Chain A
Amino acid sequence: DAMVIQNPRYQVTQFGKPVTLSCSQTLNHNVMYWYQQKSSQAPKLLFHYYDKDFNNEADTPDNFQSRRPNTSFCFLDIRSPGLGDAAMYLCATSRARAPGQALVETEAFFGQGTRLTVV
């Protein structure tokens, strides 16, 4: 059974029209990540949550926002999509590594991704 589920798998949106991508998990992990991946490039970390603690990457455009209403769900909101925002968006979850704790193996589990097309 899928443990990290992203909906939809494919999303087509109009230039400038707000769009929301969703991610849910059944693993009860307290860390959730959103990555943007363009063709043949590294998945780029946009932001991550440690529980409700939001961590935004310095170079993530303001156009990208996120919500995490509870442990299981996380949303990526793109307020005004541009053509350059067309990409694969990957959601992932992991157990947290709290500062000061002994090393804990915390591999991330990924969803299948949402491919966003902007027309």
Chain B
Amino acid sequence: DQQVKQNSPSLSVQEGRISILNCDYTNSMFDYFLWYKKYPAEGPTFLISISSIKDKNEDGRFTVFLNKSAKHLSLHIVPSQPGDSAVYFCAATSYNNNDMRFGAGTRLTVKP
């Protein structure tokens, strides 16, 4: 049962443009959402998060938007840089459990 879904396995954008990565979830108990970035041969590293009491969280070039009614969140990277090329995972967790569930990831390629 895939509770967190990333339907785009890959995304390619030009340097300087905006990258938008999408994530959908099915479990209405999720109340905290995270994005992780993964380079080859490394474990995922935390990038940015958002709680369900907010609809937007911004950190430098990275902004996460949450639409609770649609059970959808997105990560915006602007401007995109070649060093942003990596696999991005969306994750979610619920207030009554310490589990953390992941989507399948989206491979972002930023072309110079």
Known: A103-B51, A106-B93. A4 touches B43 (CB 8 A): yes
Closest-CB distance, B58 to chain A (whole angstroms) = 15
Q: Could you list some 20 contacts between A and B, CB below 8 A? A: A40-B104, A42-B4, A42-B102, A42-B103, A43-B44, A45-B100, A45-B101, A48-B99, A55-B98, A99-B95, A99-B96, A103-B31, A105-B32, A105-B49, A105-B51, A106-B93, A106-B98, A110-B44, A112-B41, A113-B43
Residue in B2, B89, B98 whose beta carbon sits within 8 Å of that of A97 in the complex:
B98
A positions within 8 Å CB-CB of B = 4, 6, 31, 33, 35, 40-43, 45, 48, 50, 55, 90, 92, 94, 96-97, 99, 103, 105-113
Q: Note all chain B residues with C-beta closer than 8 A to A6.
A: 43
**In the bound complex, how far is the Cα of B99 from the Cα of A48, in angstroms?**
7
B positions within 8 Å CB-CB of A = 2, 4, 6, 9, 31-32, 34, 36, 41-46, 49, 51, 53, 89, 91, 93, 95-105
Whether A94 pairs with B100 at a CB distance below 8 angstroms is: yes
* Main SS at interface, chain B: loop
Whether B102 pairs with A43 at a CB distance below 8 angstroms is: yes
Q: Note all chain B residues with C-beta closer than 8 A to A4.
A: 43
Chain B, residue nearest A101 (CB): B95
